[in-house]
Amino acid sequence: MLKTGAVWALGAMSGTSLDGVDAALLKTDGKSIVAFGGDAYRPYSESERDRIRRVLGCWPGDAGVAEAVEVVETAHVSVLADLVPDAEVIGFHGQTLAHDPAGRGTHQAGSGAVLANALGLPVVWDFRSNDVALGGQGAPLAPFFHFACAKWIGSSEPMAFLNLGGVGNLTWVDPTFAAPELPGACVAFDTGPANAPINDLMQSRRAQPCDTGGALAATGTVDETLVDTFLNHSYFLKMPPKSLDRNDFNALLPSVARLSDADAAATLAAAAAAAVARGTEHFPRPVSRILVTGGGRHNPILMAMTAKRTGCLVEPVEAVGLNGDMLEAQAFAYLAVRVARGLPTSCPGTTGVAAAVGGGQISHPQSSGVAQNG
């Protein structure tokens, strides 16, 4: 499907924070990062965000899902269109509505076939289902790209990447290995809730999408008793790999109901940081540096709390020349090329799948929705 060597791929990501769609170009051969290209962002409007939020936890065929799918597809076509002329393939993650790997599976809203026909390029999508079908968690999927990033920045010792999106996740990588799927090269897992409860608090109490710059949390006092109670959740007793749905910690937000807005924001930020610290206990070897991507890196209170609770240097990925706003979109550009070339996208250390496996379907323009396994 693709010419040999490095190609320009276009990736898109719409995360659980429900802020909007990121799109980014990456030149790669599916193994190494060759160059970073242009990017774009398309925010969801408040009405679009509401249509998606109403069906969080829902599955195909449930009421309201079709309307949310239309929002997701329309937003993606809009943001990707200007970057398409520079790309040869698109990686489309879709909008996660439900994630239950031990039960019903995983549900990312949006059809790659629709995007392929609208944009005129092959689209790789449905990245998680193969992994889940083979016993994996289906998440997180960015670790193989994190491994490539560690190689790109020239790291010669183990390091960690932390994504602070709606849910937090950690990737521990040892870039001295030749490939990310090799045993011992990568360990990855979701840490717990990150921005989602804070965003939900701000939306419900102040009709604001987030605590911009951590300004509200900065004026509050952490209720450490509530943080300790939060850490008693059974999820923290599980060994990785492990993953979460955005709504798995629904009890966290009601737990701060009696607190002032500021104290609630501070406590939710502390809970997210504490979850990360608990996660670092699972690293095969300690790290001294954690590079942070996702919207949470813009919250200095959350960043400072994470540094204090982990005892590590915690920096945004921009400190090493990466783009934290676009890293996940770039990751799905990278994974799209791996799928197209038959390379694995997950392994036992990242999702708990039985063996290294490639995910994804590939839809071609004018294919009438016919997709093939990647």
Task: With respect to residue 197, please indicate whether it lies within any of the assigned structural domains.
Answer: yes
Instruction: Quickly state the pLDDT bin for 165 (edges 50, 70, 90).
Output: confident
Same domain, 158 and 128: no
Residue 127: predicted pLDDT: 97
Residues 260 and 126 in one domain: no
Strands 289-293 and 159-164: parallel
Six-digit token pair at 5? Answer: 């060597």
Do 94 and 176 share a domain, yes or no?
A: no
246 and 160 within one domain: yes
Could you read off the pLDDT of 166-197 as tens digits, one per residue? 889 999 999 999 999 999 999 999 999 999 99
- My answer on whether 314 and 244 are in the same domain is yes
Band the pLDDT of 1: cuts 50, 70, 90: low
What is the structure's pLDDT at 16? 75
Whether 371 has a pLDDT exceeding 60, the answer reads: no
Please check whether residues 163 and 282 belong to one and the same domain: yes
pLDDT in tens, 211-225: 999 999 999 999 999
pLDDT at 242: 86
- Identify whether 330 is part of a domain: no
The reply to whether 249 and 280 lie within a common domain is: yes
Give the structural domain span for 161: 154-320
Give residue 115's pLDDT.
98
- How far apart CA 138 and CA 105 sit, in angstroms, is 9
Same domain, residue pair 128 and 162 = no
Confidence (pLDDT) at 23: 98
Tell me if 145 is assigned to some domain: no
% of the chain surpassing 90 pLDDT: 87
Question: Do 159 and 290 belong to one domain?
Answer: yes
pLDDT surpasses 60 at 56: yes
How confident is the model over 237-260, as a mean pLDDT?
A: 89
pLDDT, tens only, 308-318: 999 999 999 99
CATH of the domain at 132: 3.30.420.40
Using the predicted structure, report yes or no on whether residue 369 has a pLDDT greater than 50. Answer: no
